[in-house]
Chains A and B, each alone.
Chain A
Amino acid sequence: MTTNGNSGPAEPLLQIRGLRIEGQSQEIWQEIVKGIDLTLQRGEILGLIGESGAGKSTIGLAALAFARGGCRITGGEVIFDGEDLLKLPERRRRAYRGKRIAYVAQSAAAAFNPAHRLIDQYIETAVTHGVMSEKQARQEAVELYRQLQLPDPETFGQRYPHQVSGGQLQRAMVATAMACKPDLLVFDEPTTALDVTTQIEVLAAIKDTVRKYDTAAIYITHDLAVVAQLADRIMVLRYGELVEEGNTRELLENPRKSYTRKLLAVRGLRKDEERGETSLLTISNISAAYARSAMVLRDVSIRVPEGRTVAVVGESGSGKSTLARVITGLLPPLEGSISLRDQVLPATLSARNKDTLRRVQMIYQLPDTALNPRQRVRDIIGRPLQFYLGLTGRKRRERVKELLEMTELDERYLDRYPAELSGGQKQRVCIARALAAEPDLIICDEVTSALDQLVAEHVLRLLLRLQRELKVSYLFITHDLATVNAIADDVVVMCEGRIVEQGPKTEVFTPPHEDYTQILLDSVPEMDPDWLDRVLEERKTVPAA
């Protein structure tokens, strides 16, 4: 269905030549996009893929001739429909933005103004550009909402952003971007913040809509499997340079560069499950709720064997993070008990003694907020050593260095502040801090979901190695089934605060499944361009029995 090929040398819709963009960091301008060439035909979907820092979002915005704060375009051409946007004055560029080129941001929740109704934000662009009247825009909105499979398209626009779910909001944002029927849409990681089961709906909606209106699109993501479903052509970027470019199918089947091959292999990590004999942590019939609200956890029982990993899987809102809060004592349960080895843990944090606290450590999803920005690495890791084990002076210093070495960090990072570290390095510091307490159990709350895929894989490998060496148990909370495959021995599937299915990994992942487990497994994107169409086809032909 691509428009390139043998249809003759039609003029491309967008042509970027030798694009150079500099970014400012600590008052030094550094080149972050180093001479990128890009051609996009009408109706074509181009995937830009790379890790953070690859410059893919910056390139996406440059297609609108826009550089965000702290960046400047220093060279090259952005020729859209025969006109070099970079040579136009800002006033005339604005005539293109929103009208002929539109942008869909990663976080719809941050991009919508919470004070206005969705429909009002929809018609704003169209009316401002004088494309259509307000009345006409309202009518078209309903049609687009229907096209994007939003519930009650007639009245959907009357809601405020906080009244709709994350997936719906992201689709509403696509609708808003489509308001002027632009020739080009730039999607910047539109599904990254969503659950897998929601992601599949948004992907399907985007795919249908873009096809129907024959809109060209640039789709930016770090997830090769996602972009494979949509894009006709893929460009792999790294450090602001092109690694490889090619037709989607060709690139997936026959990657030329080793970096692309690494990206393709990224979900391949798999741990062979082992049975654990002695229980370390036993959670019995826990029910919990936040003050004056509905039950968040209902009758949850989990056993974590010594030196093994139990993965808790579920969508957001399934209560898996609440479970972590109950175990750590931050949220006393209404019913049930938790015991570590044979000792029943007091329900509240304040009733636990230092040694109990030491034995259960936690690693968080966002290393940015889990590390105090005003403390140096040596103090972050050193504090638990001093607090629990009474190490001071040289002993403490030596042990911090050992911990850095265990987590594959260089000694030079000792005096760094967290802001001076990369995402993966920060997460390693968090791991080192947890290990410093010499715990029996580490609760990992989505520890890899904020990281780039390659980095995440390294962190998972590190956790596996540490488990082998230190015999520590993990309770691994995640929504990503590839991560479960990589690290877990046992799996617990949760939905709406209940356990749907639990058992050894291979048992849970081999049919027959519970219905919910099936949906969850189906929703994980595969490195196959036909995956999305196939799954959607299956869902249509086999209605929920």
Chain B
Amino acid sequence: MTESTPTKAADPALDGPADTLEPPPARIHGWRAAWRELVKAPLTGKIGLVIVLVYIFTAIFAPVLAPYGETEVVGKQFQQWSSAHPLGTDNLGRDVLTRMIYGARNTVGVTFLTTCLTFVIGAATGLLAAAVGGWTDQMLSRIVDVLMAIPLLIFALLLLTIFGTSIPMLVLIVAVLESTRVFRLTRAVGMNIVVMDYVEVAKLRGEGLGWVMGREVLPNILSPLFAEFGLRFCFIFLLISALSFLGLGLQPPTADWGSMVRENAILITFGDFTPLLPAAAIAVLTIAVNLIVDWFLHKTSGLRDDH
């Protein structure tokens, strides 16, 4: 009765080793894969990407796009919107649109720099704690606990008051404080990788700490770190803007969205919403970055969901 069922696939592969079958078709790599991913992206992800690209474009080409100089006084104080000054002028008679455009460069640039530094510090210490364990892990973790015990904004204000408010100091202080969050994430995901057999193989081979951290563990935790990068960028952006608003962030006359809100806040009482525009710029960028992060998280978690 079973003879009626054709079993053509059953025999040819039997002569060779059963597991040395024909390799699967090669994966699509590089730009084409990236493009396909982009086309398949959800609408929200695409919107986020477009907005972020617009911001980056503005930041890079600020001197070309802006009608006036960054700190140039071009008219009277608090002028209404007009063709010469599309968004009016500020409390010193500078063009608001110009300062918005330069603000993209300053605020986004400083934030990006700070976020990168945050990840260098946080990921390095986190990997160290995960890979070495024991006392090193305890020490680093307790230091981080202490740093995290103090409210972030207040701690940053305190340190900036002590060390003074220059841009390098601002970047360094915010990066150190924010890196505690990255440390915890890196340590947690790193711990899951450190127990894998391939890390043990590397240790048995006699590999040094640097190899274990950088070559065995780090490549395997890049996707959660990347997602965290997006989120952390938003938080740092908001923190720096908040610090600027409070007068301890980017210092005048540098154009910055946070301080622009503060400088022109008085206009709100006259029913003019111009001071809210920098705040809106901050909000839109934050949302856009989060849209991209969501897309990315969805993609990476979707890959693991296939069993």
Contacts and interface: CB of A to CB of B under 8 A. Distances in A.
B197 A349 contact: no
Given A362-B201, A366-B197, A372-B220, A458 B306 contact: no
Interface residues of A, number: 59
Given A374-B219, A422-B21, A458-B17, A369 B306 contact: no
Most A CB within 10 A of own CB, among B2, B11, B21, B198: B198
Nearest to A455: B19
Contacts of B201: 362, 364, 370, 433
Interface stretch (B173-181, B202-210, B279-287): B202-210
Nearest to B24: A420
B84 interface: no
Contacts of B14: 258-259, 262
B2 A256 contact: yes
A408 B10 contact: no
Nearest to B2: A245
Contacts of B151: none
A238 interface: yes
Residues of A contacting B: mostly: mixed
A236 to B, nearest CB: 9
Contact of A69 (B3, B21, B307): B307
Interface residues of B, number: 34
B246 interface: no
B220 A374 contact: yes
Contacts of B23: 410, 412-413, 416, 420
A361 B206 CA distance: 11
Contact of B205 (A70, A384, A412, A458): A384
Interface string A457-501: 010000000000000000000000000000000000000000000
A463 B143 CA distance: 50
Given A242-B2, A259-B11, A370 B197 contact: yes
A134 interface: no
A354 B306 CA distance: 41
Interface string B1-32: 11101010111001001111101100100000
B198 A371 contact: yes
A452 interface: yes
A257 B219 contact: no
Given A239-B9, A241-B7, A243-B7, A364 B21 contact: no
A246 B19 contact: no
B220 A373 contact: yes
Contacts of B307: 68-69
A372 B198 contact: yes
B306 A422 contact: no
Interface string A379-391: 0000110011000
Given A69-B306, A70-B306, A374-B219, A369 B197 contact: yes
A340 interface: no
A425 interface: yes
A349 B204 contact: yes
Contacts of A412: 23
B200 interface: yes
A244 B7 CA distance: 8
A337 B220 CA distance: 37
Most A CB within 10 A of own CB, among B19, B27, B196: B19
B216 interface: yes
Contacts of A67: none
A388 B19 CA distance: 30
A88 B2 CA distance: 30
B216 A242 contact: no
B19 A422 contact: yes
A372 B204 contact: no
A406 interface: no
A371 B204 CA distance: 14
A369 B220 contact: no
Interface in A342-360: 349, 352, 354, 357
A362 B5 contact: no
Interface string B185-224: 0000000000011101101111100000001100110000
A229 interface: no
Interface of B: 1-3, 5, 7, 9-11, 14, 17-21, 23-24, 27, 196-198, 200-201, 203-207, 215-216, 219-220, 305-307
Given A238-B7, A366-B197, A455-B18, 16 more contacts: A69-B306, A69-B307, A238-B10, A256-B3, A257-B10, A258-B14, A259-B7, A357-B205, A369-B198, A372-B216, A375-B215, A383-B205, A384-B205, A388-B205, A412-B23, A423-B19
21 contacts: A51-B18, A70-B306, A241-B7, A241-B9, A242-B5, A245-B1, A245-B2, A245-B5, A256-B3, A258-B14, A259-B7, A329-B204, A330-B200, A349-B204, A362-B201, A370-B198, A372-B215, A387-B205, A410-B20, A425-B20, A437-B205
Interface of A: 26, 51, 68-70, 238-239, 241-246, 256-259, 262, 328-330, 349, 352, 354, 357, 361-362, 364, 366, 369-375, 383-384, 387-388, 408-410, 412-413, 416, 420, 422-425, 428, 433, 437, 451-452, 454-455, 458
Closest 6 A/B residue pairs (Cβ): A424-B19, A374-B219, A370-B197, A372-B198, A458-B17, A369-B197
